[in-house]
Copies of this chain bind each other. A is one copy, B any other.
């Protein structure tokens, strides 16, 4: 099947660009975090909360992946950070060569954290390494209890699962312990956090995790 052969070729090329991204950032000690989730799980809201809490404590930048529009970029620019908007024009995931191009538009000097917000899609982005140091997959409690089994790659390739909108847990059929078990079954090495940007619950653990990653612990 021609389709599969092409996908492999694209992925091999993607790995070369990913290595280039990683090398560029490693030289400068910048931590790249790739945020991945379904549409509406709260990636942008989590970044907003992070930037608000830190209030300039760390030098951050963001690369926003969207099919169209620059709404998310504008939401983050309000915090005075550098933001590059990548519009994929309908393509369903970011690729590492897009990140290479975005890096050319950023002033990398003294940067500490670079957040990449992938296209909202729990399937395709999981297959594309962007040269990230850490991959964070978000899942909101309102998406239901079966998503880890049904979309495993986004979960078994993650360094951290953030269960978001935890304030809405009582309105759902999600059992927190069962969901954790499902996650650790596919990805026993990873970390798990639950949080709510609305109530602030769990946010300090998220910020601590980011700081620990940067310190390499």
Q: State the A residues within 8 Å of B (CB).
A: 2-3, 6, 9-10, 38-40, 66-69, 71, 90, 92, 119-124, 127, 140, 142-144, 146-147, 149-153, 165, 168, 171
Contacts and interface: CB of A to CB of B under 8 A. Distances in A.
A10 B152 CA distance: 26
A66 to B, nearest CB: 6
Count of identical protomers in the assembly: 2
A111 B71 CA distance: 45
B149 A71 contact: yes
A68 B120 contact: no
Contact of A142 (B40, B119, B146): B40
A92 B124 contact: yes
Nearest to A121: B123
B143 A68 contact: no
Contact of A71 (B2, B10, B146): B146
A39 B92 contact: no
B120 A38 contact: yes
B151 A39 contact: yes
Contacts of A40: 38, 140, 142-144, 147
A120 B151 CA distance: 9
Contacts of A168: 142, 168, 171
Contact of A120 (B67, B122, B124, B127): B122
A150 B2 contact: no
Contacts of A71: 146, 149-150
B150 A69 contact: yes
Contacts of A6: 2-3, 6
Counting from the closest, the 8 A-B pairs by CB-CB distance are A40-B143, A142-B142, A92-B123, A40-B144, A38-B38, A38-B39, A92-B124, A39-B122
